Amino acid sequence: MPEIRFRIEWPDGAQETCYSPSLVVKDYFTPQQSYALEDFVQRSTEALQIASDRVQAKYGMPCGLALSQLQKLQATAKRYQNFPEAKVKLLSFLETAV
């Protein structure tokens, strides 16, 4: 399966590189676009769950890396819940050549 990484910027300027085992995240995010914190978490949840489900359909088990990434994003997002108008910016996609 084609995997992809995507670089994000949290409301405080901290940057993180995230993982998805599927290109489906490209259907949910646009480079250089900022998303309200709750919207970002919802989009991430949907995209990474679909990605994990695709791995399960192909290999018979969900993708632990995708689910772990999702848990990390959700936990980190909680730190920013009290930021006024908190936004997460999708900086870029980092595609791996196969």
**Cα distance between residue 49 and residue 70, in whole Å:** 8
Tell me the pLDDT band of 98, cut-offs 50, 70 and 90. low
Summarize pLDDT for 69-83 with one digit per residue, the tens.
999 999 999 999 999
Residue 95 has pLDDT above 80, yes or no: no
Residue 13 has pLDDT above 90, yes or no: yes
Report if pTM > 0.75.
Answer: yes
Summarize pLDDT for 17-54 with one digit per residue, the tens.
999 999 999 999 999 999 999 999 999 999 999 999 99
Q: 85: Cβ–Cβ under 8 A, 6 or more apart, which residues?
A: 36
